[in-house]
Amino acid sequence: MPDNSYQFFSRLEEKHLSPKRYHHCLGVAKTAEQLAKKYQVNSKKAKLAGLLHDFYKETPKEIFINLIKQNHYNPELLNYNLGVWHGFLGADLLQHEYHVTDIEILNAVRYHTISDPQMDTLAKIVFVADYIEPHRNFKEVELARKIANQNLDAAVLFEIINSVNLLMNQGKKVHPQMLLTYNTLYTKDSTAYKLIKKMEEN
């Protein structure tokens, strides 16, 4: 991608997204850039992935429904909503409509809501940055930010735990990839979960 990709997509988002969504994307981009420097991955790539994560968030749901039906996606996707579609399908739209070819960026966009057991560090960073960016204001956000500064896997686990609890309390369906990601990370490194419990107690 050209060096000016961030400026190009930023201008597009400013024009086509609501001001609130646009500023959220800028916040995620900045947070992803900061986390990338901490966890030693390409910060420019992280910044762009953070910017692009909600590129299709305000796309009419009918477009995604038709995309799922016409392109032979798993019909199970129809049981979800824009919260899943804008990332999972948005990555494919970025590739086809804007020729974004970097697989790490595409996967970061694809999995920023549902997660994935095989997420690389960049995808984990965008997943977490979306949760803790400066415009977020909810009960657990300060703790989430502290955890993210200590351990990236713990931050992913913490977000999944809280997201699953929220979805269940609202009577909404939980995407199975979130549960699989939780089980994978929990099994991979028990210290991440222990860190969460320790920081919750302090």
The string of pLDDT tens digits covering residues 115-146 is 999 999 999 999 999 999 999 999 899 999 99
How many residues are there in the chain?
Answer: 202
Render pLDDT for 45-73 as a digit per residue (tens, 0 to 9). Answer: 999 999 999 999 999 999 999 999 999 89
Measured in degrees and rounded to the nearest 5, phi and psi for residue 136 equal -75, 140
Q: Would you state the CATH architecture of domain 5-201?
A: Orthogonal Bundle (1.10)
At residue 136, the pLDDT reads: 96
Render pLDDT for 79-88 as a digit per residue (tens, 0 to 9). Answer: 999 999 999 9
Angle between helices 190-201 and 141-148 (to 10 degrees): 130
- For residue 62, count CB atoms less than 10 angstroms from its CB and return exposed for 0-12, middle for 13-18, buried for 19 or more: exposed
Spatial distance between the Cα atoms of 78 and 72, rounded to a whole number of angstroms: 12
- For residue 197, count CB atoms less than 10 angstroms from its CB and return exposed for 0-12, middle for 13-18, buried for 19 or more: exposed
Render pLDDT for 76-115 as a digit per residue (tens, 0 to 9). Answer: 999 999 999 999 999 999 999 999 999 999 999 999 999 9
Mean per-residue pLDDT over the chain, rounded: 95
For residue 183, the tally of other CB atoms under 10 A from its CB is 12
Among candidate residues 202, 122, 201, 110, the one with its CA nearest the CA of residue 156: 122
Spatial distance between the Cα atoms of 200 and 136, rounded to a whole number of angstroms: 19
Instruction: Look at residue 158 and tell me whether its pLDDT is greater than 90.
Output: yes
With bands split at pLDDT 50, 70 and 90, how would you rate the model's confidence at 153? very high
At 143, the amino acid letter reads L
- pTM for the model stands at 0.95
Chain centroid to Cα 31, Å, comes to 12
Task: Write 20-26 long-range contacts (CB < 8 A, 24+).
Answer: 21/54, 21/57, 21/58, 23/135, 24/54, 24/133, 24/135, 25/50, 25/51, 25/52, 25/53, 25/54, 25/55, 26/51
